[in-house]
Structure 1
């Protein structure tokens, strides 16, 4: 058991690959960003472990997040020890992000809906993560990126090397066309139309993911 008293068993994680959706049911209160570091680390570690065990995929583009926290009205209104709703999301997002998580980086969160409800027979919280497109959820095994500059890394499809190399060449050509259009004085909003549909990631946000520079491909 972690120092927070929370274990992996406190979370029920369900993945729907065909719907590009992950649902998490927590049997404990979410922790605040301002919680004691040891308690927060324990909570995040237990949730991360449950997500790693309960999922095989990862979101590759923007994500919608919905949080419902089940808590008694008297606790919510009449105590000062209960976290504010806006402070409980960051520890959760940190726990589900990374090479063993369901998001590459938490800046993928495009929208958040958060609310609390009186629990009835339940306590804890429910979380839903959903891709904006079903194609934006893929296996996280063997995930890798190709870097073109510090602010632009693209996901390489999980395929044979020849196929991956074709994607790298296509990315390289698209970026060359984009930069050429900018050099010619074209508006960035127009030049952007030639860029890949794939979402770029800054190198600094890719942490422990495999990243290879395009010159080495």
Structure 2
């Protein structure tokens, strides 16, 4: 069984910020292995490792929605790595680790958020009898969402907006409607300009909060809602549909 410890810089499991004026943070995870797991390992062994890491990081009450930089430093026995097939290639042993970071119990919504990966191995000596992985995840605190109030609003074809909404709060639901309306206007404008031969997509479409529907399959279906469902919940808190006519018209 892997032994896992976690340290945080400018964040805690409860809060994505410690110093609000500093919008960079890091989560460091150290894992001690009796046996390295790779994608060639038995499914049960891979799942055991993935779930062990997820159980540890499930204490985090927030998720990162923006780009992250990931570094994996493997401390392996050089002779064992060379002379046996117990230790897989570095790309094969990295994949199960990255898988453990994704989803509602992880730190990321989808692995498409990984902007860069630096994975490398170093030789450990015989003073310890186990292998070590030091995993560092660097990100912007501004691109984080609370897990408890997380919803994905499918607002444009298969595109979903990741956003925090308190459906008991008029202000929160109204804000969500306005953001969805603005994102839809951006997409319509980009589509119109494309027809005219202008490529405005890069100015209007990229967002740290947009995910394709297939990239959020690991999340509960009841937090993935459509625009009509958003409007229905808006009505439940007293927000008239006529307040957001553009949203209603194209729902």
- Scaled by the length of structure 2, the TM-score of the pair is 0.75
Instruction: Please list every run of 5 or more consecutive structure 2 residues that lacks an aligned counterpart in the other structure.
Output: 12-16, 18-23, 167-171, 231-251
Aligned twin of 2:225: 212
Aligned length: 206
Q: CA deviation at 1:196?
A: 5.8
- Rounded Cα–Cα distance in structure 1 between residues aligned with 2:194 and 2:164: 28
**Greater RCO (Cα-Cα under 8 Å, separation 6 or more):** 1
Please, what is the CA RMSD of the aligned residues? 2.0
Offset at residue 39 of structure 1 (A): 1.0
Match of 1:126 in 2: 134
Deviation string, structure 1 residues 136-159 (Cα, Å, up to 9, x no partner): 233322211111234421122446
Which of the residues 211, 227, 240 maps onto 1:201?
211
Alpha-carbon distance in 1 for matches of 2:175, 2:181: 10
Q: Which residue in 2 is equivalent to 1:31?
A: 37
Give yes or no for contact 1:66–1:114 (8 Å, CA) kept in 2: yes
1:59-138 superposed matches below 5 A = 59-120=64-125, 121=127, 123-131=131-139, 133-138=140-145
- Cα distance between partner residues in 2 of 1:198 and 1:81: 39
**After superposition, what is the alpha-carbon deviation per residue over 1:172-207, rounded to whole angstroms, capped at 9, x for unaligned?**
2111211221222222xx343123643421101102
Match of 1:140 in 2: 147
Match of 1:182 in 2: 194
The C-alpha deviation readout for 1:79-99, integer Å capped at 9, x for no partner, is 122111111121111112101
- Picking from 27, 44, 51, the partner of 2:50 is 44
The CA distance in 1 between the partners of 2:224 and 2:214, in whole Å, is: 11
Tell me the alpha carbon deviations over residues 18-74 of structure 1, each in whole angstroms, 9 at most, x when there is no partner.
343211100115410110111111111111111113x22211011111000111111
Structure whose alpha-carbon radius of gyration is higher: 2
